[in-house]
Amino acid sequence: MNLHNLLKRKVSEFILKKYDLNFNELEVQMTKKDFIGDITIVVFPLVKSLRKSPLEIGNEIGEFLLKELEYVEEFNLIQGFLNLVIKSQFYLEFLNQIFDQDNYGFIKPSLEDPTILVEFASPNTNKPLHLGHIRNILLGDSISKILQANGKNIHKTQIINDRGIHICKSIVAWLKFGKNSTPSDLNEKGDFFVGKYYVLFDKVYKEEILQLISEGKDNAYAKKNAPIFLDAQSLLIKWESGDKKVIELWKKMNSWVYDGFEKTYNNIGVNFDSYYYESKTYLLGKDIINEGLKNNVFFKKEDGSVWIDLTDDGLDEKILLRSDGTSVYMTQDLGTALLRYKDYPNMDGMIYTVGNEQDYHFKVLFKILKKLGFEWSKNLHHLSYGMVDLPSGKMKSREGTVVDGDDLISEMKLNASNLSKELGKIDEFSNSEKDMLNSTIGLGALKYYILKVDPKKRILFDPSESIDFNGNTGPFVQYAYARIQSLKRKSSFSLEKINLDFEINEKEKDILKQLTQFPISIKAAADNYSPALIANYTFELVKLFNSYYQSITILKVNDKTIKNFRLTLSFKVGEVIKNSMKLLGINVPEKM
């Protein structure tokens, strides 16, 4: 029972009948706390079309709804806002309607529903997954779940950046300084092991640049001619020409990294349906570019490099192939996009979860695909998000100033353990129960802290702030759920549907109003690609419930009608908390 949609439909019918005007853009929202009412209709947009004052329009609609809808008890007008007071009966009927719906608010997709590919993670095989990757992974995974809850079939995929100059940098440094060591020799995760050599390459590269400058060379020359950089370029050319020794070494080092990645994905509770590799897609990208040259979509410069001119589209010229024939990121992204379409010709959309430093890149990518005549390019979307900073500043992989993802996860679990010990909340738990709980709280804190922020905004991440049982945090929400499960364990009361003659108080009405908004929040989160809307919805629900829980008696009430209602309401709040956290990839503990 969606009262918002019902109100929109009734008011639209009223306007069409009285004014012969089709108006379907009516805005309906929750009434702000400082005003009397439950639901507000914004009448300002009608002023110009109806040529009447907001007061006249509001009164007309208000009187119409009082007669037309039994749920509307009264109305009041504040400027252009029509505030409606809704009878308790509506909210009681609503609670009965969702009484036995375990997945209230979710739309289960069918085979006929749209299929959306969501790309996220997409790491480079020259470094471990770090905090920046963690935001990407959590965001992509949560958006996948939210879209699925909106009735979409979801396919989670990633493109692994397993080739290119950055990979060659790690290989060259390992050849020079690795002494044939392996991750198992040093008991290190493979991605961490390889990442060390990427950092070492940058250190040596900078030293060589300074040496060339001291010999009288200018900075530009030094950067292009530092010996270790020339070695990396030479290795890339050998790789692209299929040199067997280089390919074998490349495969070996990448296999170390893949093992490390999988451990991190398992630790954070994320999986994928398919993997694509740039080493396989860049050749397809080259084929696309050759075809584009034939059709005059692209052009060659005197040095042999291939470009596209997008200045008429408000963009710049963009290089697609270097003068030596090696590919760039755009080459392989074109190939990957086409390969995915060939693999999933019935896909209705593709979402790229990539940081906002690549905004321009994706504008260009989508524009090129459109110019190449690929109709499906209109369904591509860049889910752009802000970077993650630490209190110490911006992370830089080349300089080794990143927070390793596995270290972060371990730290979060340790923080959860320390806080639980301080509060003395788990003294009676077994060691295995403590480990499971600390993992659930630690990961929940990490995921919630990152996902509660609008994706477009930068994050300043402080692990100590995220582990807290108070405020807008994961543990705060998890604790509310555990509290409700404690009620369940203590209660042997058999629930029944609610007596509609029952009168509810304001706190109960506020909770029920918030519950009605859950499907709306799920849809809004999908429309805006923002898990933050789910996190903040849940935080508001938990605050309302905690206030209610602390002000009334639930288990020791003698009146069966009241007890039945209060338990039903509490348990339904618990279900919605659990389901909303599921959309964020967060587990909730039964005891805490």
The CATH number assigned to the domain holding 169 equals 3.40.50.620
- 384-399 per-position pLDDT tens digit: 999 888 766 444 444 4
Q: What token pair was written down for 235? A: 């290795």
Kindly tell me the burial class for residue 244, based on how many C-beta atoms sit within 10 Å of its own C-beta (0-12, 13-18, 19 or more): exposed
| pLDDT for the residue numbered 398 | 45
Residue 102 lies in a domain: no
* Whether residue 233 is found in the same domain as residue 136: yes
* Whether residue 336 is found in the same domain as residue 426: no
* Whether residue 287 is found in the same domain as residue 207: yes
Residue 591 lies in a domain: no
The answer on pLDDT for 31 being more than 50 is yes
Residue 112 lies in a domain: no
* Whether residue 544 is found in the same domain as residue 425: yes
* Residue at which a domain ends, from 369, 394, 419: 394
Q: Can you give the residue range of the structural domain that contains 166?
A: 120-394
CA distance 313 to 370: 12
| pLDDT for the residue numbered 25 | 82
- 536-556 per-position pLDDT tens digit: 999 999 999 999 999 999 999
What is the domain-level CATH number for residue 34? 3.30.1360.70
- 152-161 per-position pLDDT tens digit: 999 999 999 9
* Whether residue 57 is found in the same domain as residue 136: no
Q: What token pair was written down for 112? A: 């006929």
Pairing of strands 115-119, 317-321: unpaired
Q: What is the pTM of this model?
A: 0.90
Residues 6 or more apart in contact with residue 147 via CB below 8 angstroms: 116, 118, 154, 526
Structural domain tally of the chain? Answer: 3
Average pLDDT (501-518) is 94
* Whether residue 430 is found in the same domain as residue 342: no
* Residue at which a domain ends, from 359, 394, 429: 394
* Whether residue 524 is found in the same domain as residue 430: yes
The answer on pLDDT for 101 being more than 90 is yes
342 CB neighbour count, 10 Å cutoff: 9
Pairing of strands 380-385, 349-355: parallel
* Whether residue 410 is found in the same domain as residue 517: yes
* Whether residue 385 is found in the same domain as residue 417: no
CA distance 59 to 82: 8
* Residue at which a domain ends, from 365, 394, 423: 394
Residue 66 lies in a domain: yes
Up-side HSE of residue 223: CA atoms within 13 Å toward CB? Answer: 3
What's the one-letter identity of residue 39? Answer: I
Contact 444, 479 (CB under 8 A): no
What is the domain-level CATH number for residue 423? 1.10.730.10
* Whether residue 171 is found in the same domain as residue 24: no
Residue 225 lies in a domain: yes
Query: Which residue from 311, 247, 315, 319 is spatially nearest to 285, judged by alpha carbons?
Result: 319
- 412-436 per-position pLDDT tens digit: 888 888 877 776 667 778 888 888 9
- 358-391 per-position pLDDT tens digit: 999 999 999 999 999 999 999 999 999 998 887 6
CA distance 389 to 392: 8
Contact 299, 291 (CB under 8 A): no
Residue 588 lies in a domain: no
For 268-324, give the secondary structure using H, E and C: HCCCCCEEEEHHHHHHHHHHHHHHHHHCCCCEECCCCCEEEECHHHCCCEEEEECCC
* Whether residue 435 is found in the same domain as residue 387: no
215 CB neighbour count, 10 Å cutoff: 8
Q: What token pair was written down for 124? A: 């480079």
Kindly tell me the burial class for residue 78, based on how many C-beta atoms sit within 10 Å of its own C-beta (0-12, 13-18, 19 or more): middle
Q: What token pair was written down for 296? A: 């005059």
Residue 115 lies in a domain: no
The answer on pLDDT for 305 being more than 80 is yes
Residue 95 lies in a domain: no
CA distance 45 to 21: 13
SS3 547: helix
* Whether residue 579 is found in the same domain as residue 447: yes
Mean predicted lDDT score pLDDT of the chain? 92
Pairing of strands 306-309, 299-300: antiparallel
